[in-house]
Amino acid sequence: MVQSAATTGITNDHLGAHMDTQKKGNASVKSIGRAFARDVEMEVIKSASLSYAQIAQNLRRLERHYLALLGESSEFSLELRRRIAEQLLEQALLRGCTQQVCRSKLNSAMRVGFTNVERQAHYHLLYAKGAFERGHIRAARKIASTMVEELERSLNKRKSILAGQYLARTREFLISINGGSV
């Protein structure tokens, strides 16, 4: 069993599901994924009393720890990087970091990519709402409009109930900031 970098916690992270059948030495990749998900969850729980800089430092420490366990060549290293980038973006938005910091974190998440269009929509909608709340209406409109187009393209290729729901929520958001029109 992989030793957790944090103490305890419960989560059902997507990464753990990806790692079900892979092995790495004596420790299964699945157990590494579960330990990572648990540790990220613990960092988020502890984050209420921490600054954004401290949270970012702790998440990067976890990233280094688990990348070392997985090895850079593991196909799951990318998923691990994605989860850290997503958490850094979410924490920046929740903590009211500047628009510049939030945009930087969104760009970082976009560089590593999203597992699927639904995760992309989730984080883009969070970003758009955060930008709007900070008075950056054009940025909010642009990111939401781009996401609507991306979701529409995706839904033309494959059916996804969740993508359809994100499309509806993003359109509603655009209507609310545009005064009644998409």
- pLDDT digit string (tens) for 3-38? 434 432 323 344 444 444 444 443 577 888 899 999
Q: Is residue 108 part of a domain?
A: no
Residues in Cβ contact with 182 at an 8 Å cutoff, skipping those fewer than 6 apart = 148, 171, 174, 175
Only one residue has tokens 């969740």, namely 162
Q: Is residue 101 part of a domain?
A: no
Q: Is residue 104 part of a domain?
A: no
Grouping H, G, I as helix, E, B as strand and the rest as coil, residue 84 is helix
Domain termination site, one of 96, 129, 164? 96
Domain termination site, one of 96, 125, 154? 96
User: Do 77 and 123 have their domain in common?
Assistant: no
Q: Is residue 110 part of a domain?
A: no
Q: What's the domain range around 92? A: 1-96
User: Do 122 and 179 have their domain in common?
Assistant: yes
CB half-sphere exposure, 42, CA atoms < 13 A: 15
Give the residue, 125 or 2, on which the prediction is more confident: 125
User: Do 92 and 9 have their domain in common?
Assistant: yes
**Token duo for residue 84:** 């850290």
User: Do 64 and 139 have their domain in common?
Assistant: no
In terms of C-beta distances under 8 Å and separation of at least 24 residues, what long-range contacts does 165-173 make, across chains too?
166/118, 166/121, 166/122, 166/125, 167/121, 169/125, 170/121, 170/124, 170/125, 170/128, 170/144, 173/125, 173/128, 173/129, 173/132, 173/144
Q: Is residue 111 part of a domain?
A: no
Q: Is residue 89 part of a domain?
A: yes
Task: Inform me whether the pLDDT recorded for 100 exceeds 70.
Answer: yes
User: Do 33 and 81 have their domain in common?
Assistant: yes
Task: Inform me whether the pLDDT recorded for 77 exceeds 80.
Answer: yes
Instruction: Determine how many CB atoms are found less than 10 A away from the CB of residue 170.
Output: 24
User: Do 92 and 122 have their domain in common?
Assistant: no
Give the residue, 27 or 48, on which the prediction is more confident: 48
User: Do 86 and 129 have their domain in common?
Assistant: no
If pLDDT is split at 50, 70 and 90, which confidence band does 72 have? Answer: low
Instruction: Determine how many CB atoms are found less than 10 A away from the CB of residue 26.
Output: 8
Vertex 124, ends 122 and 125: CA angle to 5°?
65
Q: pLDDT tens digits, residue range 126-139?
A: 999 999 999 999 99
User: Do 9 and 84 have their domain in common?
Assistant: yes
DSSP state of 23: E
For the whole model, what pTM was predicted? Answer: 0.81
User: Do 42 and 129 have their domain in common?
Assistant: no
What is the model's pLDDT at position 182? Answer: 63
| Average pLDDT rounded to a whole number, residues 105-124 | 96
Domain termination site, one of 48, 66, 96? 96
Q: Cβ(9)–Cβ(45) under 8 Å?
A: yes
User: Do 62 and 132 have their domain in common?
Assistant: no
Instruction: Determine how many CB atoms are found less than 10 A away from the CB of residue 54.
Output: 13
Q: How many domains in the chain?
A: 2
Q: Is residue 106 part of a domain?
A: no
